[in-house]
Amino acid sequence: MKRRLVVFGGGGFVGGNLCTIALRKGWEVHIADAAVRQAIPAAHWHALDITDAAAVRTLMQELRPAAAVDLAAVADIDRAEGERELAQAVNVQAAGTIAAACAAEGAACLYFSSDAVFPGTGGPYHEDDPLEPVNYYGRTKMEGERAVLRACPGAAVVRISLALGFPVTDGNSFFAALEAALQAGREIVAPADEIRTPVDVLTLSDCVLELLDRRFAGIMHVGSTDSIDRASLSRRAAALMGFPDARIRPEADLRPEGDVRVEPGGGAKPGRAPRHKHGIISVARAQAFLATPLVTAERSIERGIRERLPR
């Protein structure tokens, strides 16, 4: 009998890739998302408002899955800053509800978190280092981690810095936005002072499924074995996409108009939440535990572009 997996927020960029790979590995995949999409026809789709606690509990009781992954999030940093009640409801309260439902059904539980829980002034950050988010999004992820582990002490919390790849369903991705801007001939503003520890979505998905298989409990950082600044990452990705002469301007802030920005920087522009500068996370715990090999930032960039899954 196939093992049953429920992915909350499975219609997004990371979720769509994770569900596709899970299907290939023999899981029976159920996607719980705000809308049912045509993509990934082999998966079972469930329209669900994640903030409806009763609906979440009912779905888990009906499906009784072996495992559940919570990818549903208000992940846009500026939106989270401006819509705090929604960010709290999705990133914290719903996360706790899913974790409690997993505990009730005996399902493995995995919650996606972020390096935004750290201040981003140093690094490398380890799993047990003090948390000090600089924006409301990071604060909700910090609180979400705590809610999940309270409700389900056997849950896994996976912190990532930046996922690389392309969507197979919907959802925003750094590479998709970058490619569209390059195809339009736009200049790219890419901050050289923002450092991330990226992971391609294929490696990430393999790691997540292994953690579920092995019922890992606790917090784990998943990323590349080294870190890279956003300007260098953008240049390398542009070259691999076939745009070696792309106009990529390393700068920490936008001009008033005319530029493309794939991820805003840490400048104090009106209406923009602050960003953590150094998303430098240690992946030593993951390397010691996982059989899935973690790769360099260069290899993650290559995999994210050259090995994209078909839509």
Q: Which residues are catalytic?
A: 137
Between vectors from CA 157 to CA 305 and to CA 83, what angle results, nearest 5°? 80
Per-residue CA distances from 200 to 62, 67, 69, 175, 219 (Å): 33, 22, 18, 10, 19
| Lookup result for tokens 């500068």 | 277
The HSE-up count of residue 84 (CA atoms within 13 Å, CB side) is 5
Category of 136 on φ-ψ map: left (φ > 0), alpha (ψ -120 to 50) or beta: alpha
**Closest by Cα among 178, 217, 214, 203 to 295:** 203
- Token couple for 297: 């930032």
